[in-house]
Amino acid sequence: MTTTGLHEAHIYEVLDAVKDPEIDTVSIIDLGMIERVQVNDGHIRIEVLPTFSGCPALTIIQQNIKKAVEQLEGVREVSVVFINHPAWTSDRVTEKGREGLKKFGIAPPPRFLKEDGSWHVDCPYCGSTYVTLENIFGPTACRSILYCKSCKNPFEAMKIISTSM
């Protein structure tokens, strides 16, 4: 029961200002990381889906969530819990999140896999489809390194993660 005037919608608004620590143009809301928010008499429980196991930014994300929500009037306690069910998938990234990734120079994850299981992204800088995968392993587990043969820029792409793979 909520008795403090705090509402889930207000918590979601605050969480929309919490950015991914590595990609400051995208919020954790737009990455689809927030599964559930529960408000009960000033006690806030936030369930977060990690994008990848072992993501080095999870501790920072947890701290940033707590710091942002604890500043709200009426909050007594904030609990941030990482859950693995349901699993995070790249289709949870919102349109706003996809645009934020492009703005940062990261190609958003493709919406679909090809029949052979491969995937393709366009260059986030020039929009060209003439790109090659340089390394499936990027600087983080969730990204790969590609190269645009049109504008000659290397770039990263967020990997597609799907439950239908």
- Render pLDDT for 28-57 as a digit per residue (tens, 0 to 9): 999 999 999 999 999 999 999 999 888 889
Q: What mean pLDDT is predicted for residues 103-125?
A: 90
Pick one of 3.40.720.10, 3.30.310.160, 3.30.300.130, 3.20.180.10 as the CATH number of 8-82. 3.30.300.130
- For the chain, the domains span 8-82, 106-158
Residue 62 has pLDDT above 80, yes or no: yes
Peptide bond before residue 86 is cis, with ω within 30 degrees of 0: yes
- Taking only the tens place, the pLDDT of each residue in 73-83 is 999 999 999 99
The residues facing 40 across adjacent strands are 43
